[in-house]
Amino acid sequence: MRIINRRPGRLTALALGGAPFVALILTYAVASHYRRLENPSDKLLPSLESMGSAFWRMAFEPDRRSGELVLWADTYDSLWRLGVGIGVSTLFALVLGIAIGFIPHVRRSLAPFLATFSLIPPITILPILFIVFGLGEVSKIALIAIGTAPVMIRSTAQAVIDIPREMVIKAETLGASVWQMITRLVLPQVLPRLITAIRLGLVPAWIFLISAEAIASTSGLGYRIFLVRRYLAMDVILPYVAWIALLAFVIDRLLLVLSKRAFVWHHLEGDSL
Amino acid sequence: MTGAPLLSVQGLFKDYAGAPVLEHVSIEVDEGAFCTIVGASGCGKSTFLRILLSQERPSRGEILLNGAPLPDEPTPDRGIVFQRYSVFPHLTVSENLILAREFEEAPLTGRLYGPARARLRNEIEGLLERIGLSAAANRFPAQLSGGMQQRLAIAQALVKRPRVLLLDEPFGALDPGIRLDMHELLLGLWRERTMTVFMVTHDIREAFKLGTRLLVFDKVRHDPQEPSAYGATITYDLPTGEIAPEDLRKAEAIVNRVPPGTA
């Protein structure tokens, strides 16, 4: 049988999916082993055990100075910033995206501006934000929102434009007002696409979060990584990176599950990643 | 027939960026007529239907509906069934049917809850039965066959009791057997309600079978150097009850003709 027609079974799929992860960890373990043979106190590729114990220390042993469980405090602070930033973007995407996608006058007025604005590299705005809002939470959240909102607004607007014209006309012949069309036709059709936009927006959002925390912060996952970098503490940095990846993965999956639960009709056709 | 016609079209022209699609279209239609519209592809029959729906505006000419100029945008007095995308994919069958009533009763949210919603569901039970979708009331359109979807689309278009029902090749994507069922349903609903039907179709036999009046769109003038130089108009306007065999053959020839420039 041709390879494009062969489908892996459950167990094979699991093994195939796990293989790259196992390969990465094995490669690391071997490389680390040989480096430490030459220099037992090597800092660049610490052993898996030392990373484990460092992670344990960060997660379950109170910090000597602050008395906090550092990992959880960092995670809470970072996720809070990420959540508020993405929340603000989502709100903008909904309101402006629907207005731009549905109302031609708004589209003519805002679409060119938005297209221009979204070309500004968000990191270049960060100094401005620090000057205007200070070094506190507001400027970090603003960076995430400014960095993700334009693309999310545009993809939401496109989702509105993609609604077949026939459906809008049908709604008109059923006596719907513009507001009713938004609540009963546009919003429900756009929400699953908005979730996709959030999932895609989270990728740059993490970058902006870590950047902002690295530059000016006293807490958060990005702050911690750049703090311990001074001591070449790879045994902390690597688990933190893995932890961030895990958080991002779990959030992404949760959003996908939410979309499949809440918008059954949207997932009736085709596969989704 | 007495009194003014329900629909009156006088000197209708339509062009897209200078290219004429329709020209000199004039017609009067009485209430209760079932007009089937045929013609070669690209002859503007769907454009004519979209103009009747106010989805598009005529370039020139006057259209009176019930004595008043046609509204500038689609309104509930004209129902529509498209070939595709007619029903809302995010609503179940019964939600699709109560939607129009929800728009009426909940101006702010367009949505009813609890007892009010249950009452609307009761109201549409007869309609569900009529279109044979009672058992599928809670399914989404993507879970229905093409014929079931179009039955739903027709029923949904009738909820507001429009005086005019417009159908744009509603059965074009359906199997022949299913089409026969759809013909029965559509004719039945048309007889039960006082409404005027305009239906665009590719199938001349379907047009004769369903219609009380057959409108054939075709170009009367041809420029072989520039096929798009002239628009189409109504070349035949026949009451289908008393059709002569040669008329049928002529109409069939027009419908099946390959438009110049596409072969």
User: Which residues of chain B does A172 touch, with a Cβ-Cβ cutoff of 8 Å?
Assistant: 73-75
Kindly report the CATH number assigned to the domain that includes residue B248: 3.40.50.300
The CATH class for the domain spanning A50-266 reads mainly alpha
Could you tell me if residue B54 is inside a domain?
yes
Distance CA B201, CA B36 (A): 7
Could you tell me if residue B103 is inside a domain?
no
Range of the domain at B12: 7-77+162-256
User: Which residues of chain B does A171 touch, with a Cβ-Cβ cutoff of 8 Å?
Assistant: 88
Give the end-to-end CA distance of chain A in Å, rounded to a whole number.
26
User: Which residues of chain A does B143 touch, with a Cβ-Cβ cutoff of 8 Å?
Assistant: 268
Could you tell me if residue B38 is inside a domain?
yes
Q: Is B124 exposed, middle or buried (0-12, 13-18, 19+ CB in 10 A)?
A: buried
Q: Closest Cα to residue A90, out of A249, A197, A183?
A: A197
DSSP A26-43: HHHHHHHHHHHHH-TT-S
B142 touches chain A (CB under 8 A): yes
pLDDT score of B243: 65
Is residue B50 within 8 A of residue B73, CB to CB? The reply is: no
Inter-chain residue contact B140 with A266, CB threshold 8 Å: no
Mean pLDDT across A161-170: 95
Q: How many CB atoms lie within 10 A of CB B80?
A: 28
Distance CA A91, CA A100 (A): 14
pLDDT score of B221: 79
DSSP chain A: --GGG----HHHHHHHHHHHHHHHHHHHHHHHHHHHHH-TT-SSS--HHHHHHHHHHHHHS--TTT-S-HHHHHHHHHHHHHHHHHHHHHHHHHHHHHHHHH-HHHHHHHHHHHHHHTTS-GGGGHHHHHHHHTTSHHHHHHHHHHHHHHHHHHHHHHHHHTS-HHHHHHHHHTT--HHHHIIIIIHHHHHHHHHHHHHHHHHHHHHHHHHHHHHS-SSSHHHHHHHHGGGT-HHHHHHHHHHHHHHHHHHHHHHHHHHHHH-GGGGSSS---
Residue B190 makes CB contacts below 8 A (sequence gap 6+) with B34, B165, B197
Least confident of A5-14, A115-124, B247-256: B247-256
DSSP chain B: --S--SEEEEEEEEEETTEEEEEEEEEEE-TT-EEEEEESTTSSHHHHHHHHTTSS--SEEEEEETTEEPPSS--TTEEEE-SSS-S-TTS-HHHHHHHHHHHHH-TTTS---HHHHHHHHHHTHHHHHHTT-GGGTTS-GGGS-HHHHHHHHHHHHHTT--SEEEEESTTTTS-HHHHHHHHHHHHHHHHHTT-EEEEE-S-HHHHHHH-SEEEEEE-S---TT-GGGS-BEEEEEEEGGG--HHHHHHHHHHHHPPPTTT-
pLDDT score of A52: 94
B158 touches chain A (CB under 8 A): no
pLDDT score of B236: 78
Residue B213 makes CB contacts below 8 A (sequence gap 6+) with B29, B33, B34, B35, B36, B237, B238, B239, B240
Q: How many CB atoms lie within 10 A of CB A7?
A: 8
Inter-chain residue contact A179 with B104, CB threshold 8 Å: no
pLDDT score of B104: 93
Is residue A171 within 8 A of residue B92, CB to CB? The reply is: no
pLDDT score of B3: 67
Could you tell me if residue B216 is inside a domain?
yes
Mutate to test the interface with A, among B50, B53, B65, B85 (most CBs of A within 10 A): B85
Residue A6 makes CB contacts below 8 A (sequence gap 6+) with none
Q: How far is CA A244 from CA A90, A137, A224, B88, B161, in A?
A: 22, 20, 12, 40, 58
Tokens describing residue A159: 């989702």
Task: Give how many domains chain B has, as a whole number.
Answer: 1
In whole angstroms, how large is the CA radius of gyration of chain B? 19
Mutate to test the interface with B, among A160, A173, A269 (most CBs of B within 10 A): A173
Inter-chain residue contact A170 with B86, CB threshold 8 Å: yes
User: Which residues of chain B does A104 touch, with a Cβ-Cβ cutoff of 8 Å?
Assistant: none
Categorize the per-residue pLDDT at A46 as very low, low, confident or very high, splitting at 50, 70 and 90. Answer: very high
pLDDT score of A170: 95
Distance of residue A20 Cα from the nearest chain B Cα, in angstroms: 37
Q: How far is CA A111 from CA A191, B4, B61, B259, in A?
A: 20, 48, 35, 40
Is residue B51 within 8 A of residue B25, CB to CB? The reply is: no
User: Which residues of chain A does B104 touch, with a Cβ-Cβ cutoff of 8 Å?
Assistant: 175
B36 touches chain A (CB under 8 A): no
User: Which range among A43-47, A94-98, B114-118, B125-129 has the greatest average pLDDT?
Assistant: A94-98
The residue of chain B with its CA nearest to that of A183 is B109
Q: What is the mean pLDDT of chain A?
A: 93
Return the exposure string of A135-156: e unless at least 16 CB atoms fall within 10 Å of the residue's CB, then b: eeeebbbbbbbbbbbbbbbbbb
B75 touches chain A (CB under 8 A): yes
The residue of chain A with its CA nearest to that of B164 is A173
The larger pLDDT score, comparing residue B173 to residue A106, is at A106
Which residue reads 């993507």 in tokens?
B142
Could you tell me if residue B29 is inside a domain?
yes
Consecutive 10-residue runs of chain B (263 residues): their mean pLDDT? 79 88 90 91 88 93 92 94 91 95 91 92 91 92 92 93 94 87 91 92 88 88 77 79 71 68 45
Tokens describing residue A187: 């919003």
pLDDT score of B242: 64
Percentage, residues of chain A above pLDDT 70: 99
State pLDDT tens for residues B66-96: 889 999 999 999 999 998 888 999 999 999 9
pLDDT score of B258: 60
pLDDT score of A93: 96
Inter-chain residue contact A183 with B79, CB threshold 8 Å: no
Mean pLDDT across A107-118: 94
Residue B109 has its nearest CB partner, among A164, A172, A183, at: A183
User: Which residues of chain B does A165 touch, with a Cβ-Cβ cutoff of 8 Å?
Assistant: 55
Least confident of A91-95, A264-268, B27-31, B112-116: A264-268
State pLDDT tens for residues A219-260: 999 999 999 999 999 999 999 999 999 999 999 999 999 999
